[in-house]
Amino acid sequence: MQQIQFVKNIQFTRLIKAEGRLREFNFRKMILLQETLFSVDVVDDRGNRIMFRMRRHDSDWQIIPQPLPAWVQQQEKLMSDMINEELNGQSFNVY
């Protein structure tokens, strides 16, 4: 008999003040090659969607290196904290 395994889908949105305005950061947990990652996307001032991934390093989450605007990179620690809060069942609305 085949056993069915359920995996909890985690996705959430947080507002972060970056470069002088509130921006909507969307997070989605994914498993790729047995590694847990978070896909993150945010819209810039021109309406272009910026997409990147974060991976766990020790107890923090880090942006996988790629060319990104400085205002995104500056939010890495805050985004890491938000992911950890979501995974631990704690969440807040505006940062």
Task: Tell me the per-residue pLDDT of 63-85, one tens digit each, with 9 for 90 and over.
Answer: 999 999 999 999 999 999 999 99
Q: How many domains does the chain have?
A: 1
The secondary structure of 35-82 as a DSSP string is EEEEEEEEE-TTSPEEEEEEEEETTEEEEPS----HHHHTTHHHHHHH
Residue 92 covered by a domain: no
Residue 2 covered by a domain: no
The per-residue pLDDT for 95 is: 46
pTM: 0.85
Q: Domain limits at 36?
A: 11-87
Residue 64 covered by a domain: yes
Residue 50 covered by a domain: yes
Residue 54 covered by a domain: yes
Residue 4 covered by a domain: no
